[in-house]
Amino acid sequence: MHWPYKHRLALAFVAMILTAATEPVVPYIFKLLLDKGFTGTPAFSYWMVPVAVIAVFAIRGVSTFLSTYMMTWVSSKLLSDLRQQMFSRILDVPAEFYATHTVGRVINSIMFEVQQIVEMITKIFTTIVRSSLTVLGLLAWLLYLNWQLTTITLVLLPLIAVVVRTTGKRLKKLNQESLTVNAQLTQVIEETTRAHQVIKIFGGQDFEKTRFEQRAENLRRYTMRTTKTFAATVPITQLLTSFAVAIVIVMALIQSEHGQITAGGFVSFLTAMLMLLTPLKQLADVNGPLQRGMAAVEAVFNLIDTPVERTGGKVLTGRATGRVDFVDVSFTYPGQKQPALDGINLHVEPGETIAFVGMSGGGKSTLVNLLPAFYSPTSGKILLDGESIEDISPASLRAQIAMVSQNVVLFNDTVAANIAYGDKHPDRARIEAAARAAHLADTIANLPEKFETRIGDNGSRLSGGQRQRMAIARAIYKDAPLLILDEATSALDTESERAVQAALDELMVGRTTFVIAHRLSTIERADRIVVLAGGSIVEIGTHKELLQKQGVYANLYHLQFSGEGAGSPEVAEQDAVAEAESAEQHARSGSWQG
């Protein structure tokens, strides 16, 4: 078995033994002083007293420092390692993981719940080792002094165990519930900081304050209920101890009458007995962090043990030509009955531009998300250059793809780092060329530190159009043979759109490109346009062919550019639902092959 940090743990263990060994020495010194030092002429030199006391506390101080330092080192390293494992895992989990796990829950697990586990492990190790050794040492001294009185003292141990066991189950349940409430509170904070503009523009401050107050109050209540349950063990333990002390005093007085115990022996016994209270209380206190830790263990290790994306497969050694085939592809999201895609057949030649249009929920985004293997088809297969993407390593497959989405994601880093993101050895010349191609040169020239300017959280220091062009520059820099554009110009004004569209036209040359766009004017020059409805292809052809066909696409196009629906693709889509559904029935009776 592999034991990480075993050398430091062993050193901490030895230090704890030394600390525990010094405990019985104190009551022994009291006995010696009372029986040999205050009865006429002392049986030892006076100078031995300070030497012995200082030596004992010096050894105790060094050993306590060493054990505390080593356990802190181990706990901090363990915390860091667990967090790294969790973070590495969330980078490798499949896309559906984020459909069932909120961001707040993930953050809570990495930042809070893992802390509970580490506290549990270190608290238990330190307490059980140090306190148990101390209890054993003191009990051995008590038995040596007076076994009759020690028997009374031992009654404490099983009674305290009963108290701890009784409260343990309730503590665990309360801690599990409080972790859930804490995750909900984290989620509110995460959503509020991310949506601060929406909150202000729609006047949601009072709603968010109320929501936060409710979650915070729930967490406070659980904290108080946990504290009440845990704190109740202290007075019960103290009450049991007071009974034992009272009985010991009475018994000692009776023994003293018969000459069975000396004053020094009694003081030494009582001192050792009272010294037992601290380690016994520490052992009782283990129950709190133990139950908190056990409640957190399940969540943390569920995350660490979450199945990752497949890692095997062929590694592509060269640049793909870009031929893509969708062969009878169907896909149903986990937990859903209605398929998002149903029997998709499409052949795409290298360098061809394919545009996907259709009403919302038609399957456009789902289809392009299958290409980078974010999801795997429920049935059918997707081929890249004649090879199933399921047989290709996901990392190798995605190295062949660049993507620009309407939901732009940027990092709180420099302009250069965002453009060259993912490249371990960035090329400055390529970065500058990509910025020029995305029409960002003038924007960057006006930034205080040019390419080294940090752009803020998700590019908050840039305008919407600038953020979109930054994402396009990143795709240009990657220079991949496959390109996915999901509403890539949605955040741009008319002037910027023209400039970026020109850059995109250059970018798409020689690349197999998949375009999703509501604005039909941006896809008129596509080699083919695929119309999706209800997860099926209902029409396919060039812009001109589809207009002549007078079908779903033509209806969408005319409604969008008429006075009634101009600039409102959503309106056009809703008005075309009837035609789409009719065409869908036709699609189900026979496949469309491009």
450 has pLDDT over 80: yes
Q: Please compute the mean of the pLDDT values over residues 546-570 and round it to a whole number.
A: 67
**Do 137 and 11 sit in the same domain of this protein?**
yes
Quote the tokens at residue 141. 């001294």
**Do 257 and 130 sit in the same domain of this protein?**
yes
Instruction: Report yes or no on 460 lying in a domain.
Output: yes
**Do 159 and 271 sit in the same domain of this protein?**
yes
**Do 291 and 417 sit in the same domain of this protein?**
no
User: For the chain, what percent of residues have pLDDT higher than 90?
Assistant: 0
**Do 281 and 430 sit in the same domain of this protein?**
no
- Range of lowest pLDDT (186-190, 280-284, 529-533): 280-284
pLDDT computed for residue 590 by the predictor: 35
Q: Residue 576: pLDDT band by 50, 70, 90 thresholds?
A: very low
504 has pLDDT over 80: no
Q: Residue 563: pLDDT band by 50, 70, 90 thresholds?
A: very low
- What CATH number does residue 422 fall under? 3.40.50.300
- What CATH number does residue 241 fall under? 1.20.1560.10
Q: Please compute the mean of the pLDDT values over residues 66-72 and round it to a whole number.
A: 83
Quote the tokens at residue 497. 């759109």
Higher pLDDT, 379 or 56: 379
Q: In the block, which residue shows the tokens 């008429």?
A: 562
The string of pLDDT tens digits covering residues 110-167 is: 777 777 777 777 777 777 777 777 777 777 777 777 777 777 667 666 666 666 666 6
pLDDT computed for residue 196 by the predictor: 61
Instruction: Report yes or no on 134 lying in a domain.
Output: yes
- The three-class DSSP label of residue 515 is strand
β-strand partners of 392: 314
pLDDT computed for residue 333 by the predictor: 84
CA distance 540 to 558: 17
Query: Which of 109-123, 167-181, 361-375: highest mean pLDDT?
Result: 361-375
Query: Taking the CB of residue 194, how many other CB atoms lie within 10 A of it?
Result: 13
554 has pLDDT over 60: yes
Query: Which of 61-70, 495-504, 583-592: highest mean pLDDT?
Result: 61-70
The string of pLDDT tens digits covering residues 384-443 is: 888 888 888 888 888 888 888 877 778 878 888 888 888 888 888 888 888 888 888 888
**Do 27 and 147 sit in the same domain of this protein?**
yes
The string of pLDDT tens digits covering residues 261-299 is: 766 666 777 777 767 767 766 676 666 667 667 767 777
Q: Please compute the mean of the pLDDT values over residues 540-563 and round it to a whole number.
A: 79
Instruction: Show which of 289, 304, 319 is a domain's final residue.
Output: 304
The string of pLDDT tens digits covering residues 480-493 is: 889 888 876 665 66
**Do 155 and 273 sit in the same domain of this protein?**
yes
pLDDT computed for residue 269 by the predictor: 72
**Do 134 and 21 sit in the same domain of this protein?**
yes
Q: Residue 169: pLDDT band by 50, 70, 90 thresholds?
A: low
583 has pLDDT over 50: no
Instruction: Show which of 304, 326, 357 is a domain's final residue.
Output: 304
Query: Taking the CB of residue 26, how many other CB atoms lie within 10 A of it?
Result: 18
**Do 152 and 278 sit in the same domain of this protein?**
yes
| 197: region left, alpha or beta (phi > 0 left; psi from -120 to 50 alpha) | alpha
Instruction: Provide the pairing of β-strand 387-388 with 353-357.
Output: unpaired
Instruction: Report yes or no on 146 lying in a domain.
Output: yes
Instruction: Show which of 276, 304, 332 is a domain's final residue.
Output: 304
pLDDT computed for residue 587 by the predictor: 36
Instruction: Report yes or no on 94 lying in a domain.
Output: yes
pLDDT computed for residue 522 by the predictor: 66
- Provide the residue range defining the domain that includes 430: 401-479
pLDDT averaged over every residue in the chain = 75
Instruction: Report yes or no on 238 lying in a domain.
Output: yes
pLDDT computed for residue 309 by the predictor: 76
The string of pLDDT tens digits covering residues 195-214 is: 665 666 566 777 778 878 88
Instruction: Report yes or no on 351 lying in a domain.
Output: no
pLDDT computed for residue 588 by the predictor: 35
**Do 405 and 285 sit in the same domain of this protein?**
no
Q: Residue 499: pLDDT band by 50, 70, 90 thresholds?
A: low
Instruction: Report yes or no on 285 lying in a domain.
Output: yes
CA distance 11 to 9: 5
Q: Residue 571: pLDDT band by 50, 70, 90 thresholds?
A: very low
Number of folded domains that form the chain? 2
CA distance 501 to 515: 12
Instruction: Report yes or no on 582 lying in a domain.
Output: no
**Do 30 and 165 sit in the same domain of this protein?**
yes
pLDDT computed for residue 562 by the predictor: 61
CA distance 19 to 39: 31
CA distance 5 to 114: 18
Cα 557 from chain centre? 44
pLDDT computed for residue 158 by the predictor: 67
CA distance 1 to 207: 53
217 has pLDDT over 70: yes
pLDDT computed for residue 586 by the predictor: 39
Length of the chain: 594
Q: Residue 564: pLDDT band by 50, 70, 90 thresholds?
A: very low
Q: In the block, which residue shows the tokens 């793809």?
A: 401
Tabulate helix, strand, coil % of the chain (nearest 5): 65, 10, 25
pLDDT computed for residue 441 by the predictor: 83
**Do 275 and 411 sit in the same domain of this protein?**
no
Residue 582 near residue 531 (C-beta atoms within 8 A): no
Q: Residue 566: pLDDT band by 50, 70, 90 thresholds?
A: very low
